[in-house]
Chain A
C-alpha cells in the first residue's frame, strides 16, 4: 500500500481546481451534482407543500409555475444527466480498465467548468425571476408568453449540453483506446458497457438539443418565426427537435443506473453475474432503440396517426432489452448467497421501482390509453419512478458502494440501511397516489384541484417530506463518516472489478503495475476477513 493517495498527494485549492486527475474531477462533480440535487429537492418540496390543500397556500400561481419548472430543469440538466457518468463514471472508468486516466484529461476538466458555467446561467435565471415554461421549454410559452429569464436558462441548457458531449466523447475514446493489454471488451465490468452506451447517446443526441436551444434563443430574441405560427412557423417542429434529444436523454439517465445495479447485484449476490453478454448488448440495444421513439411524446400534438402507430410500436420494443436486464439480475440472485449490505438494498429497491416505472410506460405507449393519461399525474408518477425511483436510487446505491473507495471511510451501515428503507417507503408514498390521481383525471402542473383529490395529494406531500428528512439524515451520516468513519478496507463488498484491487482511496497513479485482467464477476477466490473488515484473495496470507 502506498502512503499517499489521490486526496493527499498535493494540497491547496489550485491542486483541486486545476487538477487533471479523473478522480479529483469525479469528486468535484459529485459535490456539484449533490448540491444541485439538494436545490432541486427544495423546489420539489415547495411544490408539494403548496399542493397540500386546494387553493393558494403560500405562493401565487406564477411562483408555483416557476417552482415546478426550476425543479424539473435543475433536476434534469444539472443533476440526473451528469450525475452517474460525470461523477462515478469519471472516478471509476479508468480504474476499472486499469488505465491511468481518461484519454483527454484537459477536456475532462473543461467539461466540469462548462457544467459550472451552465449552473451559473441557471442561477442567473433563478435570480432574474425564474422560468415558468416547464422544463420542456415548449413554444409558445418559451418564445412568447413566458415573461421571465428564459434566455439565460436556455444558454445554461446549451452549455450543459456541451459539457455532456465532451464527457461522452472522452469516455468513448477512453474505452476504445485506453484499455491496457488483456482488458478485452468482454472483460469490462457491465458498468462500463452501460457508460459506453450512454456516451454514444450523449454524443449523438445532445448536439440536436444544442441547436434547438440556439434556435429557441434566436426565436425569442430576434423573432425569426421558425417556431412561431404567427410568422408562418411550426411549433410542433420544436417538439420534434426537443424530443429527438430528450427521449434518448431518458436513456442517458437510466442506462448508467442500470450499469451500477449490475455491479451491486453481482457483488451482493456473491455469484457470477448471469447473462453477462445479454446485459452488455442490451445496453447498446437500448441506446440504439432510444433514438427511434421520440414521437411518443406527441401522440396528442397533431402528429399523423401513421407516425403515432409506428412510434407506439417502436416504443414497446424498448421493453425487450429492459426486461432482459431485469431477468438477468433476478437470475443472478437466484441461489446466490445474498448479503443485504446497503448497496445491495439499493439494488433491490431499484429493481422493484424500475419494474413499476417500466411497466407503467407501456400504458403510456399505447395510443388509445395515452389519449386519457397524457398530461395527467399518471405520467408524472411514471417518469418519477424511472428518473427518481430508478436513477436517483441507483445513484444513491453507487454512492454507498463507491464511497469507501472514494474517501477511504466507512459510513454507519445500520443507519444507511434504515435510510434506504425510508427512501423506498417515502418514494412510494409520494408517487403511488399520483398514479391514482392521474387515472382519475388530475392534470399535471395545475396549481389548484377539486376537494376530492385532497387525500391523495396529502399522502403524496407526506411522502415528499419523508424523503426530504431521509436525504438530510443520509447526507449527515455521509459527511460524518468523512471525519469519524472507520478506515475502509480495500475491498469491502467482495467485488472483483479492478477498482477494488487498489487501495482505498486509490493512489494518484491508480496502479503502478496494471492489475491482472480476470473475469470481473468471479468471486470464488475472495473470502471475508474479519480483521480487515473486507474481502481478500484466498491464497494470500494476510500480512
Chain B
C-alpha cells in the first residue's frame, strides 16, 4: 500500500478518490468500466459451459427434461424471477441517485436490492430442502420418493408419462446451474452490503460513482442468467 502513495506529491491536484497512476477521473472511470465489462464477459463464458451441457443433454434426451420439469415448483420460480427483476430496477435507481448526489435515496434503493437478493435466497432454500426431502438430488444419489413420483403424475394432468432412464441427469444439471447462480447471488449480497456502507459514509458523489455502477452491472448479469435459467428449467413443454 505504501507504494501507492509514494509519489503523492507529484500529483498535487489529484482528488482523493483518484489513484496515483491515472491521469484523470475520466480515465479511471473508463478503465473501471472496461474492466467490469470484461469481467462480465468471463462470467457469461463461465456459465456458458453449463448452458452448453444443458443443450447437449436436452437435445439428446428431451424426454428426461420433459418428465423432470414437473418436479419443479413453477410458482416459486416465477416469484423469484419477479423478485430479481425488481432488484435490477432498484439497483439501477440507486446508481441514478448516486449520480444526482441523493445519498439517502441511494442507500434506500441499495437496501431494497439487498432485501430482494435475500428473499431470492430464502425461496431457493425452501425449494432445495423440498427437493432433498423428496430424494430429488443429483447423479448417483438420486432416489425419488413415491410421493414425489405421485406429484409428477398429478402435475402432468392425467397424461401418462413413462419414467425415462437417467432422470438424475436433469437434477445434476439443475443443481449445478442454480447452485452456481446462487453462489453468484451470495457474492452479490456481499458486494451490495459493501456498497451500502460506502454510500452511507459518503464515498460517492456525482463526481465519483464508478463502484456503484460496476456493482449494478454485475447484479444485472446475475439477474440475466436467472432469466434464462427460469424458462430453461421450469417451463419445459
Contacts and interface: CB of A to CB of B under 8 A. Distances in A.
A223 B20 CA distance: 50
Contacts of B46: 207-208, 210-211
A329 interface: no
The CB with the most chain B CB atoms within 10 A, among A14, A21, A226, is that of: A226
B42 A173 contact: no
A73 B4 CA distance: 36
B10 A509 contact: yes
Interface in A227-248: 228, 231-234, 237, 241
Interface stretch (A95-103, A116-124, A282-290, A398-406): A95-103
B190 interface: no
B39 A169 contact: yes
Contact of B7 (A15, A224, A509): A509
Interface in B31-64: 31, 34-35, 38-39, 41-43, 45-50, 52-53, 56-57, 61
Contact of B49 (A14, A15, A169, A211): A211
A177 B27 contact: yes
B1 A18 contact: yes
Given A19-B3, A20-B4, A177 B139 contact: no
Contacts of B47: 211
A212 B48 CA distance: 11
A203 interface: yes
A103 B35 contact: yes
A234 B169 CA distance: 11
A212 B49 contact: yes
B45 A207 contact: yes
A104 B21 CA distance: 9
A101 B3 CA distance: 12
B141 interface: yes
Contact of A215 (B19, B38, B176): B176
B6 interface: yes
A287 to B, nearest CB: 15
Q: Is the interface of B mostly helix, strand, loop or mixed?
A: helix
Interface residues of B, number: 45
Given A173-B38, A223-B140, A226-B173, A105 B49 contact: no
A138 to B, nearest CB: 17
A223 B141 CA distance: 8
Interface string A160-199: 0000010001101100111010000000000000000000
Contacts of A10: 2-3, 6
Interface string B137-163: 011110000000000000000000000
A237 B3 contact: no
A169 B38 contact: yes
Contacts of A208: 45-46, 48-49
B21 A99 contact: yes
B165 interface: yes
Contacts of B56: 234, 237
Contacts of B48: 207-208, 211
B168 interface: yes
Given A169-B39, A233-B169, A237-B56, A103 B31 contact: yes
A107 B43 CA distance: 17
A218 interface: yes
B30 interface: yes
A228 B168 CA distance: 12
Contacts of B102: none
Contacts of A207: 42-43, 45-46, 48-49
B166 interface: yes
A344 to B, nearest CB: 34
B178 interface: no
B3 A508 contact: yes
B41 A231 contact: no
A49 to B, nearest CB: 39
Contacts of A226: 53, 57, 139, 169, 172-173, 176
B53 A237 contact: yes
B176 A231 contact: no
Nearest to B168: A225
A512 B10 CA distance: 9
The CB with the most chain B CB atoms within 10 A, among A10, A15, A208, is that of: A208
A177 B169 CA distance: 45
A540 interface: no
B50 A177 contact: no
Interface string A200-218: 0001111110111011001
A469 B27 CA distance: 49
A224 B172 contact: yes
Nearest to B19: A105
A185 to B, nearest CB: 15
A204 B41 contact: yes
A1 interface: no
Contact of A222 (B21, B30, B138): B138
A127 interface: no
Contacts of A206: 42
A170 B27 CA distance: 14
B182 to A, nearest CB: 14
A210 B44 CA distance: 12
Nearest to A508: B6
Contact of B2 (A15, A177, A214, A223): A15
A173 B21 contact: no
B140 A231 contact: yes
A414 interface: no
Nearest to B167: A232
A144 to B, nearest CB: 12
Given A10-B2, A231-B166, A178 B31 contact: yes
A52 B43 CA distance: 47
Contact of B38 (A178, A203, A205, A234): A203
Shortest 7 CB-CB distances between A and B: which pairs? A232-B166, A211-B49, A224-B172, A224-B139, A207-B45, A101-B21, A223-B140
7 contacts: A99-B21, A105-B21, A169-B38, A173-B35, A211-B47, A222-B140, A234-B56
Interface of B: 1-4, 6-7, 10, 19-21, 23, 27, 30-31, 34-35, 38-39, 41-43, 45-50, 52-53, 56-57, 61, 138-141, 165-166, 168-169, 172-173, 175-176, 180
